[in-house]
Structure 1
Amino acid sequence: MNTPTPPQSVTENSLSAARRVYLALRQRIVGMDMLPGTRVVERDIAEEFGTSRTPVHEAVQRLADEGLIEVIPRSGTFVARIPLDALEEANLVRHALELAIIEKAATRATPEDAVRLHAILQEQAVAIAASDFHAFHRTDEQFHAALASMSGCPGVWPIIQQAKTQMDRYRQLTLPLAGRMAGVLEEHRAVVAAIEARDPARAAGAMREHLDHVMPVLEITRKLRPDFFISHLDD
């Protein structure tokens, strides 16, 4: 006779719902589907996800701890603006780790790894043709994660992802700029060519050039949407 599965406790159900809401809201915020300054109404979110207010509140608090949501007393809860100071810090962390990864990848990559990278580049070309910014960003993440994997240090990629959370929001704003996605694709191709040549120094140079192009367009983006950003100088 089959033993019935014991029902989940209220606490387990709450944790599961809180994680589901957290992951969905986080994706929307980082993907800029929920723009900086958007009011976050817990009641509406609970209705959307078919859950109580408790797991929604837990998810919102977790996102607030990550700097993605801002709770303003007597005003409300909003999607946080992008902190300019954090972008510079994230860029430094990403540079250090990605340059270390790429040198290892250039010495360890196999022909199969090169095929995998070219497949990702093709997906990026398709995303550009379709003007699909989300698809392009997704394949960009796949490209850099693949480099970490073939370097033999896959655990470094989650660290980079966590460090560049705010930068990812900013990068979503840059993708619609004329020529931006095409430029990124060409930079990726230069990285892949260096890896195929098994040239660590060349690969590091190509990656450095790629990463150095992230911040210069910040001022352009900030001028287009100044309401999306905040600096400690504004405090």
Structure 2
Amino acid sequence: MRRNGRPRGATAASRIYADLRAELVSLVRRPGEPISEAQIATAYGVSRTPVREAILKLSDEGLVEIFPQSGIFVSRIPVAALPETIIIRKSLEETTARMAAEHATSSQVLSLRAILERQREACAAKDREAFHQADELFHAGIAEVAGYPGIWKLILQVKVHVDRFRRLTLPQIGRMTEVIGEHEPILTAIERRDTDGARAAMASHLERLLDDISEIQTLNPECFDQPS
């Protein structure tokens, strides 16, 4: 499919990178799937040079693998790296939840509650993409309320494979409803200025990801890089 518009130069590489990255993280392009530079270049109406630039950047992030003489493939999710990344995220977000409970204003709580309502609407519509985006806004919003939005930016840098893994959890029956049920006590504790409660609720929420790894790997073995 040809993309609208014809990007040029550095703009082309940036746009192709952003589009491909979104497709990889959302699992539109599935782990193990081949990637054709020629097809992408044709779709964007550009030469292979900006495509290769984007591919190399994605390779640096571990999202694609380049095999000389064989081709380019979507990387599988490195299961061994997930626990450490989740623990890093959990540690950082326990802090943002606690500090949000210290500093949240009434209007900020209302904004977070509006995001949670968006999640409920997405859940009712079975719109997993909208649900995921609202989930991101909820966690980013907590960091903003805490007064440390840079913490969320740091988390974004390390959680790319966790996001791919999380996409596999959402189709599970009842999982989106469960996530909302995990978000609610976080927000309630923030609203009540219960710092310990907010920290504990966030910890419990993110620990669920650790608990899910084995089951999701069993259900989707083709998506994971099996340790040798």
Q: Give the TM-score category using the shorter length.
A: over 0.9
Tell me the residue number matched to 2:136. 141
SS where residue 78 of structure 1 aligns?
Answer: strand
Tell me the residue number matched to 1:204. 199
Q: How far has the Cα of 1:155 moved from its partner?
A: 0.9
Tell me the residue number matched to 1:187. 182
Which 4+ runs in 1 deviate beyond 4 A? none
> 2 CA distance for matches of 1:220 and 1:62?
31
Alignment pair present for 1:43 and 2:17: no
Tell me the residue number matched to 2:4. none
Q: Deviations over 1:62-101 (max 9, x none)?
A: 0000000001222110000000122112112101110111
> 1 CA distance for matches of 2:192 and 2:183?
14
Q: How far has the Cα of 1:129 moved from its partner?
A: 0.6
Instruction: Give the alignment of 1:43-192 within 5 angstroms.
Output: 43-192=38-187
Q: Which amino acid aligns with 1:173?
A: L
* Equivalent of residue 25 in structure 2, options 22, 25, 30: 30
> 1 CA distance for matches of 2:87 and 2:164?
17
SS where residue 213 of structure 1 aligns?
Answer: helix
Tell me the residue number matched to 1:17. 12
Q: Deviations over 1:160-208 (max 9, x none)?
A: 0111100000000000101111010011111000001101001001101
> 1 CA distance for matches of 2:93 and 2:79?
21
Instruction: Structure 2: state its 5+ residue gaps.
Output: 1-6
Instruction: Structure 1: state its 5+ residue gaps.
Output: 1-11
CA RMSD of aligned residues (A): 1.1
SS where residue 122 of structure 2 aligns?
Answer: helix
> 2 CA distance for matches of 1:22 and 1:121?
30
Q: How far has the Cα of 1:13 moved from its partner?
A: 3.6
Instruction: Give TM-score, length-normalised by structure 2.
Output: 0.95
SS where residue 105 of structure 1 aligns?
Answer: helix
Q: Deviations over 1:129-159 (max 9, x none)?
A: 1111111100000000000101000111111
Q: Which amino acid aligns with 1:182?
A: T
